[in-house]
Amino acid sequence: MGPDEFTLQEPAASGDVASAPAAAGSGDALDGYLEQWARDKDGFETRYARVVNLARTGASSSSPMRTQRKFPDWEQVLFRGAQLDPMPLNGDVAVSSRTVIGPHSAHPLELALPFYVS
């Protein structure tokens, strides 16, 4: 038997999968060989199924990003009256954001588009 020739051996009749030899080819005899240890879903490693799919098919995955961070629901949203009086303007209405710093000084600073960091 040359180095490129292999014989495929069937698993033991007792169903002992651990005693089955690893063959260099693929075929019907190996279908389900490690099936009892297969893991498609894992609660701890949440991206495991995507990694397995990438390894099997080579196709990349395109899906939205997600997070386990909790977001507030509508029960926790608070609307303050000051936010509604005066009523907010529609999105198509022009709004001036011009700001004057030091309006009573000799040289006031006028900003057409101020940037606030709070």
Q: Is residue 35 part of a domain?
A: yes
Q: Largest Cα–Cα distance in the chain?
A: 100
Give a yes or no: residue 118 inside a domain: no
In a domain, 3, yes or no: yes
pTM assigned to the model? 0.24
Note the pLDDT of residue 106.
95
Q: Which segments in the chain show pLDDT lower than 50? A: 15-25
> Is residue 110 domain-resident?
no
Instruction: Give me the number of domains the chain comprises.
Output: 1
Tokens of 33: 């060989």
Domain enclosing residue 77, as ranges: 1-90
In a domain, 26, yes or no: yes
* DSSP 3-state of 55: helix
**Cβ neighbours, 10 Å, residue 83:** 9
For position 52, what pLDDT does the model report?
Answer: 77
